[in-house]
Amino acid sequence: MPDVAGPMGVIPAAGATPDPAGPDRVGWGFIALYAGAYMGAILLFLAPLLVSLSLKVNALVGIDRAPNSLSLVAGTGALLAIFANPFFGKMSDRTTSRLGMRRPWMVVGLLGGSLGVLVVAVAPSIPIVLVGWCIAQLFFNALLAALVAVLPDQVPVAQRGLVSGVLGICLPIASVCGTFVVQLFTGDELAMFLVPCAIGGLFILLFAATLEDRRLAREDRPVWSVHELASAFYVNPWRNPDFGWAFASRFMFVLAFTFLTTYQVYYLLERVGSAEDEVPRQLFVGTLAMSTAIVVASLLGGWLSDRTGRRKVFVSAASFVFGVSMCLIAVADTLDGFVTGMAIGGLGFGLYTAVDLALVADVLPDHADNAKDLGVMNIAGALPSSIAPAVAPAILAVSSGSYAVLYAVAGMFAFIGAGVILRVTRVR
């Protein structure tokens, strides 16, 4: 059976392995809907992580105990995400539903994750917050695994830089929207958590409803085995060294970014001396500065990457610039210094998100396992969210509570990521 061409792009026939280098190009209608869904998924994650979750924890236990309690919640949730993302990616690659391989997991992930966020919003104690956040991480990672797999499924190599660049601006837009919405509902915990879910969910459901999804025939579904299950969490770095180097680079970069996002509330409270009721507005200002820079760098970086045919130099430069921004935030002790560091960080982050996803898509080992392999790669994005909250309290303890030292360490990790990506050989 031949591939079926639809208004959303080229959809592989049932049981077919997608040809990522095929001549058919996706249209702007597909790109816009895909970007909207991707932005919605980011909004689901980021709105709690940037503001709401930290404030919820602080309200339950107070500023003295909040960093450790937040470390427990964020770290445990991220640890669960490490296994959830590749597992659900594998499940998506094996799904033979009439609705397609990716769509069912988008819907299930959205509904289950939103339920988890609701539990967090109404939780009377840290253990209940932990349970709710684990539910949210489990299902939101099912959504993310399916959503990210659409890129190698349907976007040809020649357009991946462009599409990755467009997806790159989803992060700043979601960040600005998330912090803006949250500060509108300051004092109303339920709305602070659930309104971003409603907004993000609308875009995700719109994309899911219009997607001409890839389908898999039942006879082509692999037989389950212990080896098959174990492979959902692993790609051999010795057989696929470029994948391994890309994994290591992303891990280092995301680790640096996680230090920033997880502890910026407490940075403002402790180092800058902000009042608690000022923090949502200040985070909105900082996020807006960062997001503006991300939009410019992401669109320009993705276009330049496609035009030059190069990926590594852009990813390396982006990670280096982000490391510089972490060092600037480390030495700043005013809101203006924080905002300046955030803006410079946005240039690095925008360039990184524009090109990294395209680079990763180019080094995937097996296009029949796109979602699974991307799920393994996403461990590099999830693991830092578990490690950073576990390591940060130790860094703060050794440095007598110095957030300057914490962010200097974050900058060091970004610099390491800049060097590691240069070891990739399959991509220029």
Confidence label for 208 from pLDDT (cuts 50, 70 and 90):
very high
Quote the pLDDT of residue 21.
44
- Phi, psi (degrees; rounded to nearest 5) at 10: -90, 125
Residue 186: name the closest of 56, 338, 43 by CA.
56
Q: pLDDT tens-digit profile of 20-34?
A: 444 367 788 888 999
CA angle in degrees (0–180, nearest 5) for 423-425-427: 115
Q: What is the phi/psi pair of residue 8, to 5°?
A: -90, -5
**Distance between CA atoms of 188 and 280, rounded to whole angstroms?**
13
The confidence band for 9, taking pLDDT boundaries of 50, 70 and 90, is very low
Cα–Cα distance for residue pair 129/171, rounded to 1 Å: 25
Q: How far apart are CA 41 and CA 266, in angstroms?
A: 25
The answer, yes or no, to whether residue 6 has pLDDT greater than 50, is: no
pLDDT at 18 over 60: no
Taking Cα atoms as reference points, which of 381, 419, 261 lies closest to residue 326? 261
pLDDT at res. 36:
92
pLDDT digits over 70-110, tens only? 888 887 887 887 788 778 877 888 888 888 889 999 999 99
Domains annotated on the chain, with CATH: 26-217+238-423 (1.20.1250.20)
Half-sphere exposure of 376 toward its Cβ, with a 13 Å CA cutoff? 26
Percent share of the chain, pLDDT over 70:
88
